[in-house]
Amino acid sequence: MNKERTVKIVLVAVIGVVTALGAVPLYRHRHSTMPVIAGPGVTKVIKLSDYAPTLKGTMGDIDVFVMEGKEPGGKAFLMSDTHANEPAGLLALMALVENAVVDKGTLYVALTFNASGSRNTKPGDGYPLYFDIPTEWGQVRFRFGNRDASPLDQWPDPDVYIHYPERQALSYVDGRNTNRTWPGRPNGLLMERVTFAAMELMRKEKVDVAMDFHGAETMFPVTNCIVAPQKSAKIATMASMTVKAMEGFDNHVEPSPGNFRGLSHREIGDYADTLPFLMEAPIPFLDQPTGPKTVKLLIDGKDDFLLSLSKKKKLFVSYDETGWPMDKRVGQHASVALEILKQFSKKNPERSIKLSGFPRYAEIVQNGIGKYFHDPAKADPKSVYFE
C-alpha cells in the first residue's frame, strides 16, 4: 500500500468517526420520547390520522387527548408545539392533560402538534436538545425542537412554497411550518396533511374554539398577546381585559391580518365554524441579540443584552433583572385559555365549556409548573403515553 492511499483511508475514517459522533445525539433526540400521564379528565386518546388517513404511519401523526365532561356542551381544540422551540404552551397543556377534569363540554388536546418539528433542532443557533423542569419527585425532561418540521420527514423544499388554496407565494421553508400550512389538504406536503387533519377534526366534531399556543420575541411587536380574527375579537378583548384586571398581567389583542395566509388564527376561522385564538407569550431565548442559547436563558429569560435594549425602549414588553421566567409564560397561557373559555361560555350558554383542576397564573408562578407533573413511574402504565 502506498503512502498516499494510507493517508486517504485514514482521512476518510476520521471524517466518518467525527460525523458519527456528531450524529449520535441528534439520532437520540429524534427518537426520544416525553412521558405524559393521561389524568383523571382524559376519557380517550385518539390519533389525528383518524380524521385524515393520509397521515397514518407518518411522523405527522400524533395522539389527541380527549377530555369529555359528564354534561355535553361546547368543544375546544388546543394545540402546543406548532413551533416546538416555543415550549411554554406544551408545559401548560401537559399540566392540563395530567390534572384537569372537564365538567361540561369537550376538550381535544394536541401536545406536539408539529411532532416532526419537536424532533428537529437548529444547530446553527446552538440550540439545546433538551430542557429539564424540576418537580417534587425529580426532573422531567422535555425535547426542545425547532420552528419547522425536519427535512427528514418532508423533503425536498420547493423554491417557493405556494399556499393552498389561496395561492399566496411564501418562503420555501414555510412549507415545513405548521403555522403557514393551514387549512391544508389531504394529499399535500406532510405539514399540509397535519393541518388538514386538524381542520377535519374541527369540522366533523363541530369544535367551537381553537387555541394555538406560541411564544414570540420581546423585540417583535406581536408578542404578549392574543391574535384573533374579527369573529374572535370580542371574546379575545374580554379575556385580555379580565386577566389584566383580575390577575394583573398584560396580554393585549392583535388583529389577525386578512391577507397573510396559512396561519391558524386566519384559516381555522375561514375554513371552519370555529373561533380561533393564537396566544403569544414573550420568549427572550428567541430574540436575536442575546448571549448563548442556553437552557438557563430558555427557562429564566434573563439576558444582559435585552436588559440594555429595554432601557433604550427597543422591546415590546416590560423587561427588568427578573427576565421573563418560564413559569410566568406558562401561567399566562393557562389563565388566558381559561378566560377565553369562560368568555365564550358566557356568550354561548348552551355550548359552554367548564373545567376544574387546571392551575391559573398566580398558582403556577408561585408553585412552579413542575408541581403539576406526575411521576410516570408511579402512574398506572396504561395511562402513560410517550410523545
Residues of this chain that bind Zn ion (CB under 5 A): 83, 86, 214
From the CB of 132, what's the least distance to Zn ion, in Å?
22
Cell of 79: 394545540
* Measured distance CA(101)–CA(90) in Å, rounded: 18
Reported as type and span, the H/E element at residue 139 is: strand 138-143
- What are 210's strand-pairing partners? 77, 276
| Of residues 214 and 302, the one with the C-beta less far from Zn ion | 214
* Measured distance CA(29)–CA(61) in Å, rounded: 18
From the CB of 279, what's the least distance to Zn ion, in Å?
10
From the CB of 212, what's the least distance to Zn ion, in Å?
8
By the 8 A CB rule, do 266 and 182 touch?
yes
Cell of 237: 378583548
| Of residues 86 and 174, the one with the C-beta less far from Zn ion | 86
From the CB of 145, what's the least distance to Zn ion, in Å?
12
From the CB of 178, what's the least distance to Zn ion, in Å?
10
Residues 6+ apart with CB under 8 A from 98: 36, 37, 38, 39, 372, 373, 374
From the CB of 83, what's the least distance to Zn ion, in Å?
3
| Of residues 51 and 113, the one with the C-beta less far from Zn ion | 113
Distances (CA, A) of 290 to 57, 143, 342: 39, 22, 37
| Of residues 86 and 387, the one with the C-beta less far from Zn ion | 86
From the CB of 148, what's the least distance to Zn ion, in Å?
11
By the 8 A CB rule, do 217 and 287 touch?
yes
By the 8 A CB rule, do 40 and 184 touch?
no
Residue type present at position 70: K
Cell of 276: 380561533
Residues 6+ apart with CB under 8 A from 36: 65, 94, 97, 98, 111, 384, 385, 386, 387
| Of residues 193 and 214, the one with the C-beta less far from Zn ion | 214
- What are 159's strand-pairing partners? none
* Measured distance CA(226)–CA(280) in Å, rounded: 6
From the CB of 283, what's the least distance to Zn ion, in Å?
9
| Of residues 86 and 217, the one with the C-beta less far from Zn ion | 86
| Of residues 180 and 214, the one with the C-beta less far from Zn ion | 214
| Of residues 63 and 217, the one with the C-beta less far from Zn ion | 217
From the CB of 214, what's the least distance to Zn ion, in Å?
3
| Of residues 84 and 100, the one with the C-beta less far from Zn ion | 84
Q: What one-character-per-residue DSSP string does 14-59 give? A: HHHHHHHHHHHHHHHHHH---EEE--TT--EEEEGGGG-GGGTTST
